[in-house]
Amino acid sequence: MSSGRTEPVAPGARGSRASRYGLRSVALVYLALILVLPVGMVFFRTFENGLQPVLQALSDPETLHALYLTVLIAAIAVPLNTVFGVFCALLMVRRTFPGKAFLSGLIDVPFAVSPVVVGLSLILVYGRTGWLGGWLAENGIRVIFALPSMVLATIFVSLPFVVREVVPVLQEIGVEQDQAAHTLGATPWQTFWRITLPAIRGGVTYGVILTTARALGEFGAVSIVSGKIAGQTSTLTVHVEERFQQFDLVGAYTSSLVLAVIALVIVLAMTVLKPKEAGS
């Protein structure tokens, strides 16, 4: 389950050593071109002019507030989407109900909506003249151009991950173990915590990682509904764009690097913290 786990090479796979090397080179060359080089470029650009400008950009109060806001939004959006995702995946794999294919198609839709449209849609609902805008204004509740709409946008754009990661795993493990537990007198709740959840751990973990990464990196939709108020509703990605606008590429790259480092720490933390016992 852990990325570092060493798997003994299957005896039957001995003859396929050549193909194994072949696959490895394909994977690594592709990753080098598409992933490692661009990400390496971000590192290089950040430290191109030494450490001083980076430290300066990092100690800027606006950057720090943006960082706090980004983490806060992710801390609200990720747990909500995780609980929803696991619940929804269980429902879709283990239960039958009409309209399931429709629901399944619907889950992916948030990704297909371009960020400008996500922003437009939230404004149409919560904006001054939007569906709920008047009522919200009367009651003095700020949704748009404040934290709530930024959270809504983030939940929107990171919604599908956990569902999509967990569904295939649930399909793969089947229901035999759950039934055994049920026969032995376990309550559904016990079965879920003791049997199902440990078995789908891998899927949930990757779902959470992807959700978090996406929540941290979202720009378009959040920037539109944030109002971009400096030091108040500006997230790290909005801050990156601001720096870019002001010809401060080092500042922009530094903030991006902070995002990348947070994402890396989360991936590593989830790999390390994961219980060691295997699924079966």
Partner 1 sequence: MARPAPSQVLRRRKVRRSTWLGVGLVTLYLSVIVLIPLAAVAWHAAELGPAAIWRVVSSPDTRAALQLSLFSSLAVAAINAVVGTIIAWVLVRDTFPGKTIVNALIDLPFALPTIVAGLTLLALYGPKGALGVNLAYTRAAVMLALLFVTLPFVVRSVQPVLMELEKDVEEAASSLGAHGPTVFRRVVLPSLLPAIVSGAGLSFARAIGEFGSVVLISGNIPFKTQIAPVRIFALIESGDSAGAAALAVVLLLISFSVLLLLAFVQRWGRKGDE
Partner 2 sequence: MMKTLGALVLMAVAAAAVTTLAACGGGSPKVALVAYSTPREAYAELIPAFQKTDAGKDVQFSESYGASGEQSRAVEAGLPADVVEFSLAPDMARLVKANLVAKTWDQNKYKGFVTKSVVVLVVRKGNPKGITTWDALTKPGVEVIEPNPFTSGGAKWNIMAAYGAQLKQGRTVQEAEAYLAELFKHVPVQDKSARDALQTFVGGKGDVLLSYENEAIAAQQAGEAVDYVVPAETILIENPLAVTTDAGSSSEAKAFYDYLYTLGAQTIFVSKGYRPVVEGVTGADKFPTPANLFTIDDLGGWDQVNKDFFDPTASVMATIEQGLGISTQQ
The count of residues interacting with partner 1 (CB under 8 A) is: 116
Binding of partner 2 at residue 224 (CB under 8 A)? yes
- 81-84 LR contacts (CB < 8 Å, sep 24+): 81/155, 81/158, 81/159, 81/161, 81/162, 81/211, 82/162, 82/204, 82/207, 82/208, 82/211, 84/159, 84/162, 84/163
Residues 63-82 that bind partner 2 (CB under 8 A): 72, 75-76, 78-80, 82
Binding mask 168-207 for partner 1 (x = CB under 8 A): xx-xxx-x---x--x----------------xx-xx-xx-
Binding of partner 2 at residue 175 (CB under 8 A)? no
3-state secondary structure of 241: helix
Binding mask 250-279 for partner 1 (x = CB under 8 A): --xx-xx--xx-xxx--xx--x-------x
Binding of partner 1 at residue 10 (CB under 8 A)? yes
Residues 93-122 that bind partner 1 (CB under 8 A): 93-97, 100-106, 108-118, 120-122
Binding of partner 1 at residue 232 (CB under 8 A)? no
- Please report how close the Cβ of residue 205 comes to partner 1 at its closest, in angstroms: 8
Q: What CA–CA distance (Å, rounded) separates 186 from 189?
A: 8
Residue 33 has a CB neighbour count (10 Å cut-off) of 10
**161 closest CA partner among 80, 273, 91, 261:** 80
- What does 110 bind: partner 2, partner 1, none (CB cut-off 5 to 8 Å by kind)? partner 1
Binding of partner 1 at residue 57 (CB under 8 A)? no
- Please report how close the Cβ of residue 253 comes to partner 1 at its closest, in angstroms: 7
Residue 107 has a CB neighbour count (10 Å cut-off) of 18
Exactly one of 223, 235, 254, 256 binds partner 2 (CB under 8 A); which one? 223
Which token pair is 138?
Answer: 């009367």
3-state secondary structure of 151: helix
Residues 134-153 that bind partner 1 (CB under 8 A): 152
Q: What CA–CA distance (Å, rounded) separates 236 from 60?
A: 12
Binding of partner 2 at residue 245 (CB under 8 A)? yes
Q: What CA–CA distance (Å, rounded) separates 202 from 205?
A: 5
Buried b (16+ CB within 10 A) or exposed e, 56-80: ebeebebbebbbebbeebbebbbee
Looking at this protein, which amino acid is placed at residue 4? G
Residues 80-99 that bind partner 2 (CB under 8 A): 80, 82-83
Residues of the shown chain interacting with partner 2 in the complex, contacts defined by CB under 8 A: 72, 75-76, 78-80, 82-83, 123, 127-130, 133, 137, 142, 144-147, 193, 197-198, 201, 204, 223-224, 227-232, 242, 244-247, 273, 275
